[in-house]
Structure 1
Amino acid sequence: MNWKTAYRSFYYAQAPEPEDLVLNPAETALLCIDVQNLYLEIPADPQEAARWFPFHRRMREIVIPTTRGLQEAFRAKGMDVIHARIACLLEDGRDRSLSQKKPGWNALLLPKDSAASQLVPELAPLPGEIVVTKTTDSALTGTNLRLILANLGVRNVVLTGIFTDQCVSSTVRSLADESFNVIVVEDGCTAGTDELHRRELEILNMIYCQVLTSVELRAIMGL
């Protein structure tokens, strides 16, 4: 099974295979979503640490190495590497969107200068690379990223990051609504569980984006 037949939802189970992807390097950028220090912290509670262990293992063993490799490959070809992170501009977080103020796991108070809000060192931006700061799930609706991509002449956006079913998904849908061609790198993303990750990719694939492995993307782009 390859990207043309994998991650089929109910709606696309019988759909024909998509055409070959053509990704012009001059019109393609890599966008890395929310791989921040906060999410790599191990919970103090042993039960919570055990519950999140598969997520942390996938992050360390798969997602971060894959994303770092793609960043380096894009840079080597002179293509733009763009970073997005969640952070509030005010210390008290009054500027956050409602989804980040509601009680529960999604309630985030991440002042922009706090250590927890910074991108992890392994995926830190190089000098001169664009970093957008958002108080929403979508990196497009919560920032001036739409204008930035238009000014750069970008039509194809390759996405990695977390969480597949939250900020990655919201960004994918927003980009698709704006008629960007979106590629989600399967091994460059993850959710809280493998099941959530897989299900969300099935929902997004073929209508909002194309889901590829990093190996498939590299073969198509000659990276």
Structure 2
Amino acid sequence: MPQRHLQLAAADAARLARPSGTGLDGGAVRQRMVARLRAEGRFDERVLAAMASVPRHEFVDTALAAQAYEDTALPIGHGQTISKPSVVAHMLGLLMAGTGAAQRGGLGRVLEIGTGCGYQAAVLAMLARQVTSIERLQGLYEKAQINLHRVALPRAPRLLWADGRLGHAASGPFDSIIAAAGGDDIPPAWLEQLAPGGRLIAPTAAAGRGQVLVVLDHLSDAGGQRWVRSEHEAVLFVPLKSGVV
């Protein structure tokens, strides 16, 4: 019975659809979040404009949607969280402040380590020419695919289920690399895949300071190639691990 099949399909679509009428669909709540960040006066306006275009509530569980635009981290399953909006804005702003990004007018080709629910990948897609995002947890990789299909982006990020510590040489070299998990060091593969003029930002252990945001710039001049490291404020990200699960 064809009509019966259509009815089942409609029921499935209704069950999977996000509930409306929560006050989140129109974007006013999202704009207020951005306005609060802008009032702090420390975030890159281009990053704020990108965040104003990405519906964060589409990347969190329905039960937490009402908290999507608060400046707080939220659980996304598998022992992971979506970062606070202010943390996303700060880290992307540091990437945008790189010399290479200023010359390109954007982040260029980006490698993201730790896709999570896909929110930061979506914001990156508004600022970059190409985004490759790696997630080691299959459940989150699949969730991010679903989430990203629900939002309109100028270009879709390429998602990979793989070991983020290895990067992805086939898609590189990268102008920008950003990690959403912290390790004791910066994996050598990331340095190898960071293009000259590129910038990397990652939570990393620092002697006597715990975990801090580390920025590495890959410089290339008459003196050859070198990496310049700077350390920023203390942070607390989930551990950077090898392998896939």
Q: What is the TM-score when the length of structure 1 is the normalising length? A: 0.28
Question: Which structure: larger Rg?
Answer: 2
Q: What is the TM-score when the length of structure 2 is the normalising length? A: 0.26
Name whichever structure is richer in strand by fraction: 2
